[in-house]
Each structure stands twice: as C-alpha cells, then as structure tokens.
Amino acid sequence: MATRSTRTARSARTTSARPRPAAARGIDLPKDRALDLLRQMWEIRLFEERVYDLLGKNQIKGASHLYAGEEAVAVGAVSVLRDDDWITSAHRGHGHCHARGASMAKSEPERVEHYNKMMAELCGRATGYCLGRGGSMHIADVQKGNLGATGIVGGNIPVATGAGLAQKMMKKDSVVLCFFGDGASNTGNFHESLNMAALWKLPVVYIVENNLYGMSVPLEKATAKLEIADRGCAYGIPGEVVDGMDVVAVRQAVAQAVARARKGQGPSLVECKTYRWYGHSRSDPRAYRTKEEEAEWKGRDPVPAYSARLVKEKVASQAEVDAIEAAARKAIDAATDFAFASPLPPVEELEQNVYAPFVWSQRDVEREAELRQRVRAGGPGTRKIRYWQAIQEALREEMVRDPKVFLLGEDIGIYGGAYGATRGLVEEFGEERVRDTPISEATIGGAAVGAAMAGLRPVAEIMYVDFTPLAMDQIANQGAKNRYMFGGKTTVPMVIRTEGGAGRNIAAHHSQSLEALWTHFPGIYVVMPATPYDAKGLLKAAIRDDNPVMFIEHKMLYGIEGLVPDEDYIIPYGVADVKREGKDVTLITYSRMVHRALEAAEKLSAEGVSVEVIDLRTLKPLDMETIAASVRKTGRVVGLTEGYKTGSFISELAMRIQEELFDWLDAPIVRVCAADVPVPMSDPLEDAAIPNLARVVAGIRQALA
C-alpha cells in the first residue's frame, strides 16, 4: 500500500462531516460474498439498535459503547482475513466480534450460535461468549482468533503487537488486525507499538476508526495532526486514509495492507473516516455535535448505501437485498429471545477461571521438599553458584527445553541485563529469541501478553520494579484479567522478570519494593526468591506455568552464593520454606529480608531466644498452611518486609493471620517495614529507611515482650 503524500493527506483532511469521496473500485466479489457483507452489516446495525433499546429499559446493564454507523469498517476489514488470522479491538468491540465470528461461520447453525452468544454475553448470561464475565466492553471469542476488546483506550494496541510478534517468530504468515479509535492514537501505547512493529516488521495492520470524537472532544481539539495516517511515516509505516462509510473501500485498503504483511513487509496504518450514530455511551446526550452534522453523516449511511450499490451494479435485485434485512431482523429477535431465556451465571462459580490450573502435581511438591533438604545438607549431586547464575541457568534450560520460550526487554542482549542475569544468552540463542527492545515498558508488557495469548511463552524483563507501573495497564488489566474476562477460554503464560529493593544508594526511583502493588491484582502470581536454589527452581516453574507471573529479584542478591542440585527441578508455587526452625516466635519474610531475618535469629539465639524463620518464596499463591503450623507452635508473629509500611504485603498477611489464627496468638503481630518515605540516596538515610539488623532484632523483642 503506497504511502499517501503529505500534500494529498492535507487536501483530504476532514474537520466537518464531509469525508473524502470513496476511492473504491467496483464490487469485484462473487455474488454470495458481496451479499454476505451486506448481511453482516445489517446484523451489526440491528444488533446495536436492539442493545440501545435494552439499555434504555435496563435489561442490559452496565456501560455499552455502540458500533452503529461504523459497520463498514469492521465488516470490510475482517472480510479479507483467513481463519488463522487474529484481531484485537477496543470497547466499541461488538462490531469487530460480530464480523469475525460471522465471517468464520460455515453454516446457518454456526451463525445462529454466534448471534446467540453475542447477545447472551451483553445480557450477562452464562451462555455468552465470556460466560457473562466480560460483557459489552470485554467481549471476545478467543477460539476464533479474537483476542478480545478492552475498556482501556489504546490498551489493545500492544497486545496486537505481541500477537504479531508471535506470528513472525512461529514462521507463520498470519496477520493481526488491530482496531482502535482516533482517541487511542494520542496514547503512548500507539506510538510505542508502531515503533516496535516497524523495527521488527511485524504483520500487524493498525486500523484507526476515526469517528471525529474521542468521547466528546472533537478531533481538532485533541490531535495536532488531523490525518492520523500521516503519523505512520515517522516510523516508516505506510499510512492510508479511506472512506470508512464504504465497505468496499475499506476492504480494498485493508486487503493491500494484509497482503503486504503476509509478504513480511511489516505493519500498515489504515485510517477509516467514519461516524458513530449514538453517543459515546447510552447516557451521552451528544451535546457536542450538531443536528446538522449528524444528519449529514446519516445521509451517507453505509448499510443502505451498499444495498443501493449492489442493486445499481446489478450484483443483486432489490428483492434480494430486502430479504437480507428481513432475515437479519429475525436473527436478532431470536438471539434476544435466546439471551433472556438463558440462565445467569451461578454465584458459586464466581472465582472460577481467575487462574489456569497448576502444571505441577502433589508428587512435585513432595519431591521438591526432599530435594530442598538434600541441597541444604550439601554434598554429591549439588554445586555452588551465584544468584544471577541461577537465573541465567533457568532461562537457558527452559529455552532449550521449549522453543516457545523467548526473552524480551531492555538491554538483555549483548549487555546481558542490568545485573548480568541474561549474559551470554543472545550468543547462544540469537537475537530472534533474546530480543533487545526499545525503552517502552508498556509495550514490552503488552507484547508479552499478546505473544502469550497467541501461543508463545515470553519472559519479559522490566529493568527495575520501579518501572513496572509504566506497564501496569498491560500486565494487570490485560494480562492478569484476560482469562477471567474471556470466560476461561484463554491462557496467558508469561513471566515479567524485574528486580527491586534498596542497598545500592541509587535513590527513590530505583530502590523501591513494590510487590504489594502486584499482589493486589487477581490473575497474576507474585514470586520473590531469596536464594540461588529458590531463584532457579521458581523461575523454571514460572516459565512452565500458564499464568502471568511477576518474578521479582533483589538487586543485592545477585552476587550471593548457594547450592543447587545438578538435576532438573522446579519449585511449585504456594510452598513456603522454613529456613530456620524455632519455638518462641515466628518471623515471616521473603527476598533479601530472609537473610536479615536469619542474622537476627542467629544473634538472638545466643540469648536463648528461638526464632523460626519462614521464607514465603511466593506471595501469591500464599502458603497459609505452613504459616498456621508455625503460629500454632510459637503463638507470636513478626512480619518483615522491605516494602513501605503503609499498604505493605506484610500488613495484608497480618490481617490473614488475625482472621484465621487469632485464637492461637499470644501477643499482637509486629510489623517491621520500610519507613514511609521515598528511599533516600545517602547511605545512613537509606540504612535507616529499610529494616536493618537492629530494627529486626527490636521487632522480635517487641513480639516477645
């Protein structure tokens, strides 16, 4: 697809209701395919009109962003896809979901099932595509290559980029269509994703549905350059503006972009000028638009316009196009009846499908306990390595074991990672599987989500945990929630490796312990190993698991040494380790603070105080069984963390113990945490800000007082 010149793009700029005339050629489709496009557009239109009516009656609840008026974009674009292609969409995603499902239906019963599942999902029924978990804004049919809609503007763009990366890495010629609105083109996700896709020549077609308003703010007040397609030239991506009210014009433009992607020539940007009939949502009074503007656009209604064109070009008779509309009305009526006759999801299933099932067995748990004792004793079959080497070995072994495993992140290639944990891997596996990325945390996280959903097992590195909030939407809202939102019909097997903690005097933006943020989100596991043995076994388990995992290392642990077994092993999640047995007080901690806890326990043992030290190893899932056994024995608890005191994970743990083990406590739980100040640079201030040996000892004494 040729890039439109700046001059041509400017002459086509649309600031009113007058988009450029359609540039489409004649209808060059077989009659049945040409009529199928009309059928799909009528079905979307009538579906949306029915939804609008049901929203007004409060029979459909929640927010719903209707697609009426934009039918030509979804139908025209999706019509050029194969069954093995993919789409992602935004929170006006009914049209995309319908077009994808309808285009893949091979028979009338399949089409009926598709309409039924669409309407049932919007009505929150158990028979919906997502079992009523996603509703309007998160509708998806992952089994048909629809990676779902998102309620976060621009949130799907990195996911599509990752799905495109997966196609390229798996040597497929499949293509990803990424639908989003004009408002999303002003987000960082848009620019980060286009840059990454251009760098790696990914088979993604980015389709901007420019309906002139993000929500209520008009395009000219929100976008410096009104032709969004022109932005592609900054990344060397072809951009084209097309009349989004003309299904044939959209089909032809997207067909060119798809053909280009299949040839390995990289991404394209297609801007479709279109218009939504309704407001942003059902409650929107549309005060920002004039009646004249709306009337002018409705005069170019894509559905009757295409009907008339079919008759004019003698593709079909008036009776035939009228019959299609009538049949569509019956289909939507039947789908509505099906939805309201369907059961609501049982409350007993509320917590189903948050996580994919564990990949390990009870025997794995028992074997790891035996192995842990052997490693603790040392001797034949074990060897001593550093923590960073344990990480590196885990990555290497899993990449050898499973060709779907790959790494991506900043400076992980030749540089070997900020702390050397990926050193030598690019030489061994090549730049295809050890991918240096731009400094684009959001798209690193989102690309991992998309690649995981599309069949790979990415291990993405975010250099410092302080930077993970930059990727929070992608990891927490997309990756962690997709399985549940989409009715348990997808898995997101990805690992986010990062490191945190203080100790190197590098101040507030590189020294935080933010694990509490990540334990808050359902759908993601949080792992924080303290030793080389734990780091290697837990990372290998994370890579094999089918859930998103936030794997947080500590910068001060990379150089410590410890024993690991020679044999292949994993450490199942939710299994804490009693690092030191005791009878007077239970000290619960994780990561670097395990070593500080052991120092404190050793110091107090000289005074006859017996401290039991529990290393949680995984914060989610949490091993309450081991904690309970210790609390019942000692009756006293100290929680130790390097995280800020307010909102720390230890505070959550203390409440769990209060709720479940209150009768066994002989004294209040004591928290030893970091001060509620940004981590300072100066050495004495940093030492005072985080729990040092003196503070840990004092906390234990307080619990015993």
Q: Give the pLDDT confidence score for residue 281 in this predicted structure.
A: 82
User: Is the pLDDT at 214 greater than 90, yes or no?
Assistant: no
**Above 50 in pLDDT, residue 226?**
yes
Q: Region 614-624: what's the mean pLDDT?
A: 98
Q: In the CATH scheme, what is the code of domain 362-565?
A: 3.40.50.970
Question: Is residue 299 scored above 70 in pLDDT?
Answer: yes
Residue 217 carries which side chain, given as an amino acid letter? V
pLDDT score, position 215: 85
The model carries a pTM of: 0.93
d(C-alpha 28, C-alpha 32), whole Å: 12
- Over range 236-245, report the average pLDDT: 96
Active-site residue flag, 510: yes
- pLDDT band at 15; cut points 50, 70, 90: very low
- pLDDT at residue 185, as a whole number: 93
Query: Which segments within 387-501 are labelled E, that is strand?
Result: 405-409, 434-436, 457-461, 495-500
Q: Over 80: is that where the pLDDT of 11 sits?
A: no
pLDDT at 635: 97
Can you tell me the mean pLDDT for 330-337? 96
pLDDT-derived band at 5 (thresholds 50, 70, 90) equals very low
Q: CA-CA distance, 290 to 302, in Å (whole number)? A: 20
- Which neighbouring-strand residues pair with 470? none
User: Using one digit for the tens of pLDDT, what is the confidence trace for 672-692?
Assistant: 999 999 999 999 999 999 999
Domain 577-704 classification at class level? alpha beta
Q: What is the mean pLDDT of residues 585-597?
A: 98
The answer to which of 17-26, 239-248, 606-615, 639-648 has the lowest mean pLDDT is 17-26
What's the length of the chain? 705
Identity of residue 420: G
Q: Which residue has the tokens 């500080």?
A: 596
650-673 pLDDT per residue, tens: 999 999 999 999 999 999 999 999
* pLDDT score, position 358: 86
Identical fold between 32-342 and 362-565: yes
Sequence-distant (6+) residues with CB within 8 A of 270 are: 1, 77, 205, 206, 207, 208, 229, 239, 240, 242, 250, 253, 254, 257
Using CB atoms within 10 Å of the CB of residue 364, give its burial: 0 to 12 exposed, 13 to 18 middle, 19+ buried.
middle
Mean pLDDT of 182-193: 94
Determine the pLDDT at residue 552: 98
pLDDT value at residue 3: 39
pLDDT tens digits, one per residue of 103-162 = 999 899 999 999 999 999 999 999 999 999 998 888 999 889 999 999 889 999 999 999
pLDDT of amino acid 666: 96
- pLDDT, residue 499, reads 96
pLDDT at 216 over 90: no
Q: Where are the beta strands (DSSP E) in 150-307?
A: 176-181, 204-210, 239-243, 268-273
Q: What is the pLDDT of residue 1?
A: 38
* Span of 5-19, 22-36, 685-699 with lowest mean pLDDT: 5-19
What integer pLDDT is reported at residue 24 of this predicted model? 58
Write the pLDDT tens digit of every residue in 438-457: 999 999 999 999 999 999 99
Share of the chain above pLDDT 90, in %: 86
Checking if the pLDDT of 622 tops 60, the result is: yes
Structure tokens, 541:
């388990």
Q: Which of 539, 537, 544, 547 is nearest to 570 (CA)?
A: 537
Domain ranges in the chain are: 32-342, 362-565, 577-704
- The pLDDT score that the predictor gives to residue 277 is 92
Question: What does the angle CA 157 – CA 162 – CA 163 come to, to the nearest 5 degrees?
Answer: 95
Judged against a pLDDT cut of 50, whether residue 17 lies above it is answered with no
Which pLDDT belongs to residue 12? 34
Cis peptide before 621 (omega within 30 of 0): yes
The confidence score (pLDDT) of residue 224 equals: 81
Q: Which fold has domain 32-342?
A: Rossmann fold (3.40.50)
Whether residue 612 is predicted with pLDDT greater than 90 in this model: the reply is yes
Given this model, what pLDDT does residue 9 score?
A: 33
- Among 54-68, 478-492, 540-554, 647-661, which stretch is predicted with the lowest mean pLDDT? 54-68
Per residue in 60-101, pLDDT (tens digit) is: 988 888 999 999 999 999 999 999 999 999 988 999 999 999
Position 14 pLDDT exceeds 50 = no
Question: Does 308 score more than 60 pLDDT?
Answer: yes
Instruction: Return phi, psi of residue 585, to 5°.
Output: -155, 145
Strand partners for 580: 613
> Residues 98, 510, 554, 595: which is the catalytic one?
510
What does pLDDT average to over the chain? 93
- How confident is the model over 358-398, as pLDDT tens digits? 888 889 999 999 999 999 999 899 999 999 999 999 999 99
Give 7's pLDDT tier (boundaries 50, 70, 90): very low
